[in-house]
Structure 1
Amino acid sequence: MADTKNTDLNPRTKGYEFLGPPGTLFITLSVPATIYALYFGCSEHSGGCPPQLATIWPSTKISLQNPEFWKSLWDKDAAVMYLIWYIYCVVCWFVLPGDWIEGTTMRDGRRKKYKINAFTTLLLTMGITIGWIMRFGPQSFTFIYEHWVGLVTASVSMSIFQGLYCYISSFFGDKLLALGGNTGNPIYDFFIGRVLNPSIGSFDIKSFNELRPGLILWVLIDISMACEQAVRRGGKVTDSLWLVLFFQALYVADGLYNEPAIFTTMDITTDGFGFMLSVGDLAWVPFVYSLQARYLVYKQIELGPVHTALILLVNLTGYWIFRGANGEKNDFRNGKNPRNLKTMDTKRGTKLLISGWWGMCRHPNYFGDLLMALAWSLPTGFETPVTYFYVSYFLVLLMHRQYRDDENCEKKYGEDWHKYKQLVSYRIVPYIY
């Protein structure tokens, strides 16, 4: 075992996030449990969404005490299909053409290179999927709906495997560690991620997981839900489910098309790759974010043209803000300023944007993201709060990210950051927060 000896480059982490090891252990256990709970608590097979409050605990207690329930979480066919899916994504990364770009300069002076072909992988996958459905019919693509629980188990298992692999391998060789994941506590470091950029040769595990297996699977899940509804309705799909499918597929396509932008995010530049990112990328994103589509399979809502237009307006407004803000940021980071936006000089010799979208609040892209998240839930109506779980969770997540970003920027810019906050006082939602 040859852990890196450069303590200046890889100093011991002194502080904890998420309430330290007890908090991270709780999250490690509760994230998979929440994914299962959202299925069993919002399903036509469990008595509604959610089931009657009086029956939730008795039925849950009976299930947890029944060995057959635990056995039912494992599905051999689903595990094989998930493994094939993951291997397919890896093969696409290797085989499909794509440019190689450099990421940001890391603290050891190196700039890691990344292969860009996530959008091409999406296009190939969509072509295969559409061709399959046209050839064999919607019934042939309901596998995901029918094996939902088994696929969740397979994705969680893959997340645990990758988290353990990256944690154990971080002790071998001269690795660049994450500043926040080197506490020496195995529970905490396994969750946060000890190694910054785990790779196998030129294959970067973290960036690959961020954009390919989970995000593209999310779209495939939505398509499977639409196929299941089409089978039940004699080939027709409700306008509400079409909206959800369109919104979420557009969001994924936009993210993959703009793949280079991810290499400046905190996930890539700062956070280590551990169970937190692996389970988020592989299990949480595809199986939690598609909750609205799964709900609409059996709660078949027809919105009509007026409500459809209003919800479409909410989503497109969010997308306009999200894409406009990210466009300004990416242009500025690449040395461009086509709109002549105002900037603030800092003692570090860099500049901060203080006009345009970034003059309205510190994270206008988060605001656009939240509007889109709301639009994904609105087609489900207001009979249950469960389908609004995503937008509620996402709000908390973005507030936490904003808090972490503020802390990092204060360390980076010092007094200049306080001056910046006076110029741009709102955090995420202009005039509100």
Structure 2
Amino acid sequence: MSSADKGEVTTTITATTHVTLPPRSNAELNPKSKATEFFGPIGTAAVTFGTPFTAYALFYTCNEVTGCAPSGAAGWQTMFDNLAHWPTVAGQWWDWTAAGVYLAWYTWVVVCWAVLPGEWVEGNLLRDGSRKKYKMNGLWALILTLGVVAGVLANPGGIDRFTWVYEHWVPLLSASLVMATAQALWVYVWSFKSGELLALGGNSGVFIYDFFLGRPLNPTFPGFPNFDIKTFNEVRPGIIGWVVLNISCACAQYKKHGYVSDSMWSVLAFEIYYAFDCLLTEPVILNQMDITTDGFGFMLSFGDLTWLPFTYGLQARYLVFSPVHLGPYFTAAVVALEVIGLYIFRVSNNEKSDFRNGKNPKNLTYMETQRGTRLLTSGWWGRSRHPNYLGDWIMAWAWCLPTGFKSPVPYFYVVYFAVLLVHRQMRDDEACKEKYGKDWDKYCKLVPYKIIPYVIIPLRISRDSLS
């Protein structure tokens, strides 16, 4: 999932202004928080250790040797026998060459950020009265990277060489995990010395909880105040890396079978377009909860650097050793589903963006709040409070259906994404309730549906119920 456009549904018609706030002490700016998110320290510890295990498990239970979800005792025994001595280098836990390649990759993306042209965009007003500026040139980084990849593939033997990425899946995953963990530890430790602004939710004093949720709000490296680590990671190394992994999978399928299947082309087209769309609208991320509210900790570092590229790439990896031939009719049906999801996703986000920027070309209705802001009550945002999540989930089905129906494992993304979106909807609604109070209750009566129009999702967990 790209995290672009995953902001709360609320929209305001206000001009961007510079506000001077009265001086506040560090203690006032960074109050202590309660460890209640994700069921507190126990829940965050479970996710911290469980998500890396899941990322590895998706490979070791779905690969060229054992197949996808081994059937029968013999298949499972083969999987366990080969965990330590995998028949191919792809199964090794660690490889120093792969670690060097991953470090070079991360360095490449940082250099692209530094040297490529890009607009500096001002972010939202922070509670200390300041605004950060962010360099938006992710699209150019993606285009340049694809140009380099195309140059490699165009040379004799280039396709064979580019399969190296696919063949070193696990050690590259391990290298990304080390990078994610190191970054989360660094920003956690440095936040005690830097005096920087902290996230309101990640300052509980409980290590595992604050390490996971993220203590600093906008961490930077000493001497590089304009390089916001969190915003950079959000849509750069992981999303562009996901595209590179998918292309390597297509090369591996060609090397193994002598062709690239229509199912592989479909997955490539859908997911590369998604990456382009995300980076084309990169400034939108400045309004999402990840940037405005969440701290930078293991949750975001792991999610951006490891989880996104190596689990979202499952469909393309599966098709390498289990190619599916869709045919023209099934291909057309999958493309239609992708277009429907993309339409809902893009149109709903455009409505929100226009309204937030003082435009209302569709004459959408809205309600006034006591804060002086306005909440949309018609259009897609009148059908549900998170219509962009619905479009995103429909697209998730279009990405998974090309893998066929031999195994349920390639559909992991659809199930995981549904859980993610419901959880995010709960967090969004909780934040809006705190922000708007009784006005939010009125709004929920006008727009009762949370994600899917005309479908009530009864699940609701408040922070108070967990404390």
TM-score, scaled to structure 2: 0.89
Give the C-alpha shift of residue 54 in structure 1.
2.7
Q: Percent identity?
A: 55
- AA partner of residue 248 (structure 2): S
Kindly indicate whether the alpha-carbon contact (under 8 Å) linking 2:35 and 2:41 is maintained by their aligned counterparts in 1. Answer: no
Kindly indicate whether the alpha-carbon contact (under 8 Å) linking 2:123 and 2:134 is maintained by their aligned counterparts in 1. Answer: yes
* Farther off after superposition, 321-330 or 13-22: 13-22
Kindly indicate whether the alpha-carbon contact (under 8 Å) linking 2:35 and 2:209 is maintained by their aligned counterparts in 1. Answer: no
Match of 1:221 in 2: 245
- AA partner of residue 141 (structure 1): F
* Distance in 2 (alpha carbons) for counterparts of 1:92 and 1:61: 41
Match of 1:39 in 2: 59
Structure 1 residue 326 corresponds to structure 2 residue 349: yes
Give the C-alpha shift of residue 376 in structure 1.
0.3
Structure 1: runs of 5 or more not aligned: none
Q: Deviations over 1:97-155 (max 9, x none)?
A: 00101011011111110001000100101111112101233112101111011100000
Match of 2:67 in 1: 48
Which of 256, 267, 270 matches 1:247?
270
Which of 98, 115, 125 matches 1:78?
98
Structure 1 residue 176 corresponds to structure 2 residue 200: no
* Distance in 1 (alpha carbons) for counterparts of 2:435 and 2:409: 40
- AA partner of residue 212 (structure 1): R
Q: For residues 185 and 309 of structure 1, do their structure 2 counterparts lie closer, same or farther at Cα, with a shift above 3 Å needed?
A: same
* Distance in 2 (alpha carbons) for counterparts of 1:231 and 1:56: 26
- AA partner of residue 49 (structure 1): C
Which of 426, 437, 444 matches 1:414?
437
Match of 1:110 in 2: 130
The SS at the match of 1:306 is: helix
- AA partner of residue 103 (structure 1): G
Kindly indicate whether the alpha-carbon contact (under 8 Å) linking 2:393 and 2:417 is maintained by their aligned counterparts in 1. Answer: yes
Match of 2:114 in 1: 94
Please, what is the CA RMSD of the aligned residues? 1.9
* Distance in 1 (alpha carbons) for counterparts of 2:233 and 2:340: 29
Structure 1 residue 364 corresponds to structure 2 residue 387: yes
The SS at the match of 1:8 is: helix
Give the C-alpha shift of residue 432 in structure 1.
2.1
Structure 1 residue 148 corresponds to structure 2 residue 172: no
Q: For residues 380 and 65 of structure 1, do their structure 2 counterparts lie closer, same or farther at Cα, with a shift above 3 Å needed?
A: closer
Match of 1:428 in 2: 451
Kindly indicate whether the alpha-carbon contact (under 8 Å) linking 2:70 and 2:76 is maintained by their aligned counterparts in 1. Answer: no
* Distance in 2 (alpha carbons) for counterparts of 1:108 and 1:187: 27
- AA partner of residue 198 (structure 1): P
Q: Deviations over 1:223-246 (max 9, x none)?
A: 000011111232x21000000000
Q: Deviations over 1:184-212 (max 9, x none)?
A: 01111111100000013210100100011
Q: Map 1:18-417 onto structure 2 (within 5 A).
A: 18-45=38-65, 47-55=66-74, 58=77, 72-136=92-156, 137-200=158-221, 201-234=225-258, 236-417=259-440
Q: For residues 15 and 29 of structure 1, do their structure 2 counterparts lie closer, same or farther at Cα, with a shift above 3 Å needed?
A: closer
Give the C-alpha shift of residue 15 in structure 1.
3.9
* Distance in 1 (alpha carbons) for counterparts of 2:83 and 2:67: 19
* Farther off after superposition, 19-28 or 113-122: 19-28
Give the C-alpha shift of residue 431 in structure 1.
1.5
Give the C-alpha shift of residue 393 in structure 1.
0.2
- AA partner of residue 229 (structure 2): I
Q: For residues 67 and 117 of structure 1, do their structure 2 counterparts lie closer, same or farther at Cα, with a shift above 3 Å needed?
A: closer
- AA partner of residue 281 (structure 1): D
* Distance in 1 (alpha carbons) for counterparts of 2:38 and 2:74: 33
* Distance in 1 (alpha carbons) for counterparts of 2:207 and 2:118: 37
Q: For residues 67 and 212 of structure 1, do their structure 2 counterparts lie closer, same or farther at Cα, with a shift above 3 Å needed?
A: closer
Structure 2: runs of 5 or more not aligned: 1-23, 457-467
Give the C-alpha shift of residue 17 in structure 1.
1.1
* Distance in 1 (alpha carbons) for counterparts of 2:49 and 2:79: 17
* Distance in 2 (alpha carbons) for counterparts of 1:260 and 1:65: 44
Q: For residues 303 and 171 of structure 1, do their structure 2 counterparts lie closer, same or farther at Cα, with a shift above 3 Å needed?
A: same
- AA partner of residue 91 (structure 1): V
Q: For residues 108 and 149 of structure 1, do their structure 2 counterparts lie closer, same or farther at Cα, with a shift above 3 Å needed?
A: same
Give the C-alpha shift of residue 72 in structure 1.
2.8
* Distance in 1 (alpha carbons) for counterparts of 2:75 and 2:202: 38
Kindly indicate whether the alpha-carbon contact (under 8 Å) linking 2:188 and 2:215 is maintained by their aligned counterparts in 1. Answer: yes
* Distance in 2 (alpha carbons) for counterparts of 1:346 and 1:112: 27
Kindly indicate whether the alpha-carbon contact (under 8 Å) linking 2:180 and 2:306 is maintained by their aligned counterparts in 1. Answer: yes
* Farther off after superposition, 250-259 or 11-20: 11-20
The SS at the match of 2:155 is: helix
The SS at the match of 2:63 is: coil
Q: Deviations over 1:79-113 (max 9, x none)?
A: 11100000000000000000101011011111110
* Distance in 2 (alpha carbons) for counterparts of 1:382 and 1:227: 23
Q: Deviations over 1:338-396 (max 9, x none)?
A: 11111110111100001111111000000000000010000011111101100100000
- AA partner of residue 183 (structure 2): Q
Aligned residue-pair number: 428
The SS at the match of 2:124 is: strand
